[in-house]
Amino acid sequence: MNLTFLGTRGEIKARTRRHRMHTSLLVSHRGARVMIDCGLDWLGKFKRVSPSAIVLTHAHPDHAWGLRNGAPCPVYAPQQTWQSLQHYPIEDRRLIKDRTPTKVCGITFEAFPVEHSILSPAVGYRVRAGRARIFYAPDLIFIHERKAALDGVQLYIGDGATVMRSFVRRRGKALIGHSPVRTQLTWCQKEGVPRAIITHCGSEIVNGDERQIAAKLRGIATERGVEVRIAYDGMKVKL
């Protein structure tokens, strides 16, 4: 499995050379090219990625609005995401049911509901191809079935909206927002995931001194027996 971090910027105003495009991951395996998420930055631009399929985590602008004018390939998403995108001129719509491994061009995707938003419910994906297993969740407060989601996973790719500070708000009984990277590294420790990559970078990373933040994160990760790095646009990882 080959991973290309096409974009690593969260829903913020700032953008830099390292974090220019809205968060998106290209998963390649045996000629298949599956793009996860296609935010507004990708509108009219994602054709150069030439994806075989697009898979969506949720309907927020930085994850789905690049499809406003349609898509050149099949698009896979959970039911609640399709409800939000019903007016989009996407011809080939495929449904991904929660906790149901679904083959997308030979790569297996299993959606795990995550807490993040009431209006745009989100999922994280457990992705499997050959012997490689990863979990990808660019926006989340927590994973509902974390143990099953992270079981045997070699690489956790998580939400960099906030590094140390909590960004969780209560709306009635529900919670919305993002968990700090620190908390996500603790999940990796608890579930035995050896490696984490942080994407969906927020202003703490994009506006901050990234070297200093990366060093701080490495310290936190080392205490937990986890290896961590911050993704940048164009970064490639081979598993």
Q: How far is the CB of 43 from Zn ion (least distance, A)?
A: 16
Return the number of the residue (73 or 114) whose C-beta is nearest Zn ion.
114
Q: How far is the CB of 189 from Zn ion (least distance, A)?
A: 25
Considering only residues 9, 29, 33, 60, which one is a binding residue for Zn ion as defined by CB under 5 A?
A: 60
Q: How far is the CB of 181 from Zn ion (least distance, A)?
A: 15
Return the number of the residue (28 or 117) whose C-beta is nearest Zn ion.
117
Tell me whether residue 38 is exposed, middle or buried, using C-beta atoms within 10 angstroms of its C-beta: 0 to 12, 13 to 18, 19 or more. buried
For 31, the token pair is 């000629």
Count of residues interacting with Zn ion (CB under 5 A): 4
The 132-161 contact track toward Zn ion, x by CB under 5 A, reads -------x----------------------
Neighbours of 78 (CB within 10 A): 21
Return the number of the residue (49 or 176) whose C-beta is nearest Zn ion.
176
Q: How far is the CB of 160 from Zn ion (least distance, A)?
A: 10
Return the number of the residue (8 or 28) whose C-beta is nearest Zn ion.
8
Q: How far is the CB of 48 from Zn ion (least distance, A)?
A: 22
Q: How far is the CB of 117 from Zn ion (least distance, A)?
A: 6
Among 13, 22, 49, 11, smallest CA distance to 231 is for 22
Considering only residues 21, 55, 59, 62, which one is a binding residue for Zn ion as defined by CB under 5 A?
A: 62
Return the number of the residue (62 or 191) whose C-beta is nearest Zn ion.
62
Q: How far is the CB of 62 from Zn ion (least distance, A)?
A: 4
Interface with Zn ion, residue 115, by CB under 5 A: no
Half-sphere exposure of 233 (CA within 13 A, CB side): 15
**Subset of residues 4 to 33 that bind Zn ion, contact rule: CB under 5 A:** 11
Alpha carbon 151 to chain centroid distance? 18
Return the number of the residue (23 or 128) whose C-beta is nearest Zn ion.
23
The residue ranges that bind Zn ion (CB under 5 A) are 11, 60, 62, 139
